[in-house]
Amino acid sequence: MNAIDKPRAADITLGLMLDTLASHAEVPLVFHYEGKAIKQGYHVTEVKAGHFSALDCGANPEAWSEIFVQLWDIEEGDRTHMPAAKFSKIIRKVSEHVRLDGSAKLTFEVSDGVQPMQLFCASLPIFGDGALHVELSPRPASCKPRDRWLAEESRKAAACCGPSSASGACCS
C-alpha cells in the first residue's frame, strides 16, 4: 500500500477525551508512542488552543479549532503516571484562562527535552491492566481535497455494495 493510500488515524476531540477520563478518574493515564509507554514522570507542560483559517491546495477555504497538549517525556524521582483526574484538572485549569472548544480535535506534542517535538493524534483511551491507555500516532500531512474525494468514493461504494443495495448492480 502506498503511503498516501493509508487511512489516517481518527482525530478525537477534547470533549471525548475528557468524557472518557471522567469515568476512570483515579486510574493512571498512560500515553504510548513509537512503540513505548511514556515515562512515569511525564508532565503536561502546555495546553494551547488554536483557531485556524487556511486555503488548501485545491484553493478551498478551511477553518478548524485544535487543542495542543504538550507532553514532556521524562523520569522524575519516584513519580508514577498521573491519574486521569489530574490530567482533567490541568485541562480545567487552562480553560479558566484560555477558551477551549470541546469539539476541537486534539493534537499532542511530545518530546523528551532532547529530541525535537513531534506531533501526534490520539486514539480513544482504552482501559486495561489497571490504567487508561492512549495510543499516540504520528500526525501525517495530507491533501484535504484528495481526502474528501476518497471519503466520497468510499461512501459511494458502501452505499452501492452495502446490504441496503437491492440489486448490487454497481458492484463489480
Q: Assess if residue 45 is contained within a domain.
A: yes
Q: Assess if residue 166 is contained within a domain.
A: no
What is the distance between the alpha carbons of residues 147 and 15, in angstroms, rounded to a whole number?
24
Q: Assess if residue 4 is contained within a domain.
A: no
pLDDT at residue 165 is higher than 60: no
Beta strands in the chain (DSSP E): 29-33, 36-37, 43-55, 61-72, 105-111, 118-122, 126-128, 131-138
The answer for residues whose C-beta is within 8 angstroms of residue 36's C-beta and 6 or more apart is: none
Number of domain units in the chain: 1
Q: To the nearest whole number, what is the mean pLDDT of the chain? A: 88
Q: Give me the mean pLDDT over the 145-172 stretch.
A: 75
What is the distance between the alpha carbons of residues 126 and 30, in angstroms, rounded to a whole number?
10
Q: Assess if residue 172 is contained within a domain.
A: no
| Least confident window among 83-97, 109-123, 124-138, 156-170 | 156-170
pLDDT at residue 3 is higher than 60: no
pLDDT at residue 4 is higher than 70: no
Q: Check residues 22 and 76 and name the one with the higher pLDDT.
A: 22
For 31-57, the pLDDT digits (tens) are: 999 999 999 999 999 999 999 999 999
Q: Indicate the pLDDT class of residue 8, thresholds 50, 70 and 90.
A: very low
Range of the domain at 110: 9-161
Q: Assess if residue 2 is contained within a domain.
A: no
For 107-149, the pLDDT digits (tens) are: 999 999 999 999 999 999 999 999 999 999 998 888 988 988 9
The C-alpha cell that represents 29 in the structure block: 493515564
Q: Assess if residue 170 is contained within a domain.
A: no
Q: Indicate the pLDDT class of residue 162, thresholds 50, 70 and 90.
A: low
Q: Assess if residue 63 is contained within a domain.
A: yes
Q: Check residues 166 and 149 and name the one with the higher pLDDT.
A: 149
Answering whether pTM is above 0.85, one says: no
Q: How far apart are the first and last CA of the chain?
A: 21
Q: Assess if residue 23 is contained within a domain.
A: yes
Amino acid 63: pLDDT: 92
